[in-house]
Structure 1
Amino acid sequence: MGFLFGALFLLLSFSKAAHGGTLPLATSNSTTTSPSSYTVFVANSANNRIQRLAGGRCNIFKGKWVYDPSYPLYSFGSCPFIDPEFNCQKFGRPDATYLKYRWQPFSCNLPRFNGRRFLEKWRGKKIMFVGDSLSLNMWQSLSCMIHSSVPNAKTSLIRGDGFASITFLDDGVKILLYRTPFLVDLVSEKAGRVLKLDSINNGNSWKGMDMLVFNSWHWWTHTGSSQPWDYIGDGGKYYKDMDRLVAFYKGLTTWARWVNHNVNASQTKVFFQGISPTHYEFQFRNEGGVLRICLGDCNDEFQLHVLWLRVAMFVVVMTSY
């Protein structure tokens, strides 16, 4: 999926002017309250914001997936940076058609990625992806796309716990990854693991970048054994749980404040990567298994009714800062 690097971002810019109209919150100890009653308000705010961003030019948010036989832009087997588990063909996937789709806006053509030109444009600069596994995908994919264009480039790779960096030495371009699925802090205390909605000390590691690409959503919905926290901390109080959409809103608000206070827009470009939809439908086989199908359904992929409120909420948060 990372071979579609240029098309997978929901590129939303930031406004320092307050536009008002923030989303009212449910009570912080609620486990059932949903802000769905504000859907119309948030959706209208998001749509207006996107229209302003387009400014009469090409709207890259409206388009469709098209088959392109010249894709993919890199080979999984020849990229030295990609994790082995992402090489689907190596582990038995029989088809490769899914690699040959690209995003096509209705009103313009996106330029084909050129790794050599990219390195020249970003010479001496640092790009950091911050977030969960989607950020990992983008970090590896961008690096692999560059490597495919400049296969003999000298590189260095550093990997640590939740951090990684690839440097293209001849041009001094650094592509960095910081793994933090919530953006806000997840800390260990005597009471247990606490997700702090109003704390973002992680941000100290994000400073000094020339581009920051953030993403967060999927881990906010995890429950049971896959939930990485025991308590939610907010305003000096601990909660066993709360409405996850409300928690997401609070966390995004903390992150937006950090961006507003710590990022110089004239020096650093900031993007928020869109929430990834589920690209399959369920059909049950006779033996009770699940068959996942995507081929032929591409025209419906952009109708993201389930995710619209999440995306709209992000827009509302950003238009408040």
Structure 2
Amino acid sequence: MDFQRFSSVLLAIFIIMIIFSSLCLASPSSNVKWRKQNNRSNCDVYQGSWVYDDSYPLYNSSACPFIRKEFDCFEYGRPDHLYLQYRWQPTTCDLPRSDGQNFLQSLQGKKIMFIGDSISLNQFESLLCLLHASVPNANIREEKNTSVPTVIFEDYEVSIMLFHSLLLVDVEQEDIGRVLKLDSLKDGNIWKDMDVLVFNTWLWWYRRGPKQPWDYVEDDGTILKDMDRMVAFRKALTTWAKWVDSEVDTNKTRVIFQGISPSHYNGTEWNEPKVMNCSKETQPISGSTYPSGLPLPLYVLEDVLSSIEKPVHLLNITTLSQLRKDAHPSSYNGFRAMDCTHWCIAGVPDTWNELLYTALIN
């Protein structure tokens, strides 16, 4: 009986070896198919180019109730509509098309918070438009008159929230004036209870004069009138990074940091030195690289993120946004002021949210 069992075991091992050898010697077409199926996991969705696609935009901006007058280019008379019909195409794979209903179903019962400046507002409103277009008959409740504007898709119990924070770290009013505290981050007690956090900051770090949001800088207990802005930016991001490592339970909360959103006021950056703003730009820059290269703050951000022990995803929208000199409101906004910093909705922020969808769902 023991010999028979031993023989059976040997036979089974022999059969398994034959099957394994057959798989290893499979035809090249089988291997190609396997690579293609798994390609997305190895694909850099942030490396690619813009291609014309007449199935875009993903929604009719006129039907979206969430767009502020700063970003509603169509409503405020932009005559060219080509900017709406470009799709981001990664070099080695396809970006999954946004599916708002699947997004809501997958995140049922979750709280998503955007934290940052008006660029975060740009992305927040874009996501609301994408979701609204996917579930136009859903029960939606808005909480506007609070410190944290919130839109709740009640059928899915999904809350989309916006926390206004220009610098992420604290600015406090003291006897001497407004003090930027590079080592202090008190609002984190509110943020860490969310299920998804999407951070952004940079726009206000280089402001000077009346638009500067602080009067003094406090660095490690020392009060300064000013300091190198890139150094200050790094110190603030390091404070934020330490907060993530010490306070955020990343088993519950997904942490995402949006890359540096570019502006287009200097045509020298895209090899048109006589151009001083984005007002006459109607097409993206072709190819996959921006002529003037990546902005310095992105390198600082990437360096700080690399020091974090816990998982943080960089929503690296910098290069793909640099290529879209055509996608700003310019003067087609509620203020009729030249704006080459923010983005039209519908427009580029929809792609940011397609990438967010990919990061969260896929």
Give the TM-score normalised by structure 2. 0.69
SS in 1 for 2:184: coil
Which residue pairs with 2:187 in the alignment?
Answer: 202
Give runs of aligned pairs for residues 65-84 of structure 1, distance below 5 A.
65-84=50-69
Moved more, 97-106 or 273-282: 273-282
Matched, 1:179 2:171: no
| 1:247 CA displacement | 0.2
Is 1:254 aligned to 2:239, yes or no? yes
Higher relative contact order (CA 8 A, sep 6+): 1
The letter of the residue matching 1:299 is: S
- Percent identity of the aligned residues? 47
Q: Does 1:95 align with 2:107?
A: no
Q: CA deviation at 1:237?
A: 1.4
Q: CA deviation at 1:74?
A: 1.9
* 1:156 has 2:141 as partner: yes
Q: How many angstroms does 1:211 deviate by? A: 0.7
Task: Indicate how the Cα distance of structure 1 residues 187 and 133 shifts in structure 2: closer, same or farther if over 3 A, else same.
Answer: same
Out of 274, 281, 285, which is 1:298 matched to?
Answer: 285
Kept after mapping to 1: 8 A contact 2:47/2:288 = no
Does 2:312 align with 1:318? no
Report the CA distance between 1:129 and its aligned residue: 0.5
User: CA contact under 8 A between 1:280 and 1:293: conserved in structure 2?
Assistant: no
1:189 aligns with 2:179: no
Deviation at 1:277, TM superposition (A): 1.8
2:120 to 128, 135, 143: 135
Distance of 2:70 and 2:107 partners within structure 1 = 29
Secondary structure in 1 matching 2:187: helix
Q: What is the aligned partner in structure 2 of residue 109 from structure 1? A: 94
Task: Give the conservation status (yes or no) of the 8 Å contact 1:126–1:175.
Answer: yes
2:250 corresponds to: 265
- Residue 66 of structure 2 aligns to a residue whose secondary structure is coil
Q: Determine helix, strand or coil for the equivalent of 1:85.
A: coil
By how many angstroms is 1:159 displaced?
2.0
Note if contact 1:130-1:179 (Cα within 8 Å) is conserved in structure 2. Answer: yes
Q: Please state whether the residue corresponding to 1:218 is helix, strand or coil.
A: coil
Q: Does 1:225 find its partner at 2:226?
A: no
Amino acid across the alignment from 1:227: Q
Query: What is the CA deviation profile of residues 16-75 of structure 1, one whole-angstrom value per residue up to 9, with x for unaligned ones?
Result: xxxxxxxxxxxxxxxxxxxxxxxxxxxxxxxxxxxxxx9970011210111211111122
Partner of 2:226: 241
Looking at structure 2, the residues matched to 291 and 207 of structure 1 have their Cα atoms a distance apart, in angstroms, of: 38
- Conserved? CA contact 1:198–1:234, under 8 Å: yes
Task: Give the total of aligned pairs.
Answer: 266
Q: Distance in 1 between matches of 2:115 and 2:48?
A: 26
Structure 1 stretch displaced more, 92-101 or 178-187 = 92-101
Contact 2:266 2:276 in 1 (8 A): no
Gaps of 5+ in 2: 1-38, 309-362
**Structure with greater strand share of residues:** 1
Quote the offset at 1:262 in angstroms.
1.4
Alpha-carbon distance in structure 1 between the residues aligned to 2:283 and 2:119: 24
Does the 8 Å contact 2:266/2:273 carry over to 1?
Answer: no
Shift of 1:76: 2.1
> Contact between 1:64 and 1:299, CA under 8 Å: does it hold in 2?
yes
Asked if the contact 2:71/2:122 (under 8 Å) is kept, the reply is no
CA contact (8 A) 2:141 2:151 kept: yes
Matched AA of 1:235: D
Root mean square deviation, CA, Å: 2.3
The one-letter amino acid paired with 2:186 is: N
Runs of 4+ in 1 over 4 A off after TM superposition: 288-291
Range moving further from structure 2, 289-298 or 150-159? 289-298
TM-superposed CA distance for 1:303, in Å, is 2.4
| Farther-moved stretch of structure 1 (195-204 vs 72-81) | 72-81
- 44, 63, 75: which one aligns with 2:48: 63
Letter of the structure 2 residue corresponding to residue 270 of structure 1: V
